[in-house]
């Protein structure tokens, strides 16, 4: 059932994210249900689900947006664009408070925030966040937005061979913080081998690798169990137990599986291809 629909004329919606629920509150109260969306004209728009209206429009970028995320407390919006610029904006004031050009020149593919303890990595900050760009680089930051602090914690660059001929576009570079293994992030992308890499932010090294049948086109990590969902270009979806286990492969898509998203409960998984959106029930997870 279609509950609500927002339309912006003459612009493509390139990315979106739900505002996180207040800490310790689930299900999310109606007044907290907001969606932020990034558009091809460089604008960011915030929509209220309960009021069915656009509440805020910001213009932090000169190029089309490619990734957007809320901070863990919902007080800041992080946005990345096609030219690699990352902006941090306040949905309360509509002002952009930080602009980072470290990934300049390569489109941002992923932005993700996670809560952290101040003493975890010997830096100040209320949360960690990462940015991933098409050129296989991942930056990890510790931030305290109230104090206007944003410190680079780690910078990863993954090698790859020259792009194969006849391939119009390389597989995306994707990274995510590991929910069940603190201080670890998972990376997939075009590289020397077809694999998922588990990198420790504490040890500054790759802990282990999981071989994949092809280069991944989408990635999601379950918040409730040690499982990864990985999409591929040949219409294949894989559920991969971690750190080891027998993977389960599923068909059913009509094209490249370009999106995987676990529900907050971890019991459902949403996947999408060219013209199909599938919802999976994870009975054994």
The ranges assigned to domains in the chain are: 158-284
Both tokens of 232, joined, read 């591929």
**What angle (nearest 5°) sits at the alpha carbon of residue 190, between those of residues 185 and 193?**
85
Burial class (CB in 10 A: 0-12, 13-18, 19+), 130: buried
Query: What's the N-to-C CA distance of the chain in angstroms?
Result: 27
| pTM greater than 0.85 (yes/no) | yes
Fold exhibited by the domain 158-284:
Methylamine Dehydrogenase; Chain H (2.130.10)
CB atoms < 10 A from the CB of 46, how many?
19
Q: What is d(CA 40, CA 42) in angstroms, rounded to the nearest whole number?
A: 6
| 3-state secondary structure at position 115 | strand
Q: What is d(CA 23, CA 31) in angstroms, rounded to the nearest whole number?
A: 15
- Per-residue pLDDT of the chain in tens (285 residues, 90 and over written 9): 888 999 999 999 999 999 998 766 666 666 668 999 999 999 999 999 989 999 999 999 999 999 999 999 999 999 999 999 999 999 999 999 999 999 999 999 999 999 875 567 777 777 899 999 999 999 999 998 888 889 999 999 999 887 665 455 789 999 999 999 989 999 999 999 999 999 999 999 999 999 999 999 999 999 999 999 999 998 999 999 998 889 999 988 989 999 999 998 899 999 999 888 999 998 765
């Amino acid at each position: 059932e279609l509950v609500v629909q927002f339309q912006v004329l003459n612009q493509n919606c390139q990315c979106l994210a739900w505002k996180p629920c207040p800490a310790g509150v689930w299900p999310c109260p109606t007044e907290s249900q907001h969606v932020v969306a990034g558009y091809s004209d460089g604008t960011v728009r915030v929509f209220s689900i309960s009021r069915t209206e656009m509440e805020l429009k910001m213009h932090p970028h000169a190029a089309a947006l490619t990734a957007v995320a809320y901070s863990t407390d919902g007080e800041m919006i992080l946005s990345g664009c096609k030219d690699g610029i990352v902006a941090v904006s306040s949905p309360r004031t509509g002002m952009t408070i930080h602009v980072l050009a470290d990934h300049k020149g390569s489109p941002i593919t992923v932005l993700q925030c996670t809560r952290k303890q101040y003493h975890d990595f010997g830096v100040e900050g209320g949360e960690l966040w990462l940015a991933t760009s098409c050129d296989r680089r991942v930056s990890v930051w510790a931030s305290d937005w109230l104090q206007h602090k944003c410190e680079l914690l780690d910078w990863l660059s993954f090698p790859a061979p020259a792009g194969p001929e006849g391939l119009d576009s390389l597989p995306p570079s994707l990274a995510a913080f590991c929910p069940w293994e603190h201080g670890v992030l998972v990376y997939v992308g075009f590289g020397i081998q077809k694999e998922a890499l588990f990198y420790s932010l504490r040890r500054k090294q790759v802990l282990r690798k999981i071989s994949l049948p092809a280069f991944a086109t989408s990635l999601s990590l379950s918040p409730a169990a040690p499982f990864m969902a990985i999409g591929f270009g040949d219409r294949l979806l894989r559920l991969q137990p971690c750190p080891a286990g027998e993977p389960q492969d599923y068909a059913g898509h009509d094209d490249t599986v370009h999106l995987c998203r676990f529900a907050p409960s971890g019991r459902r998984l949403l996947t999408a291809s060219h013209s199909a959106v599938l919802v999976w029930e994870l009975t054994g997870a």
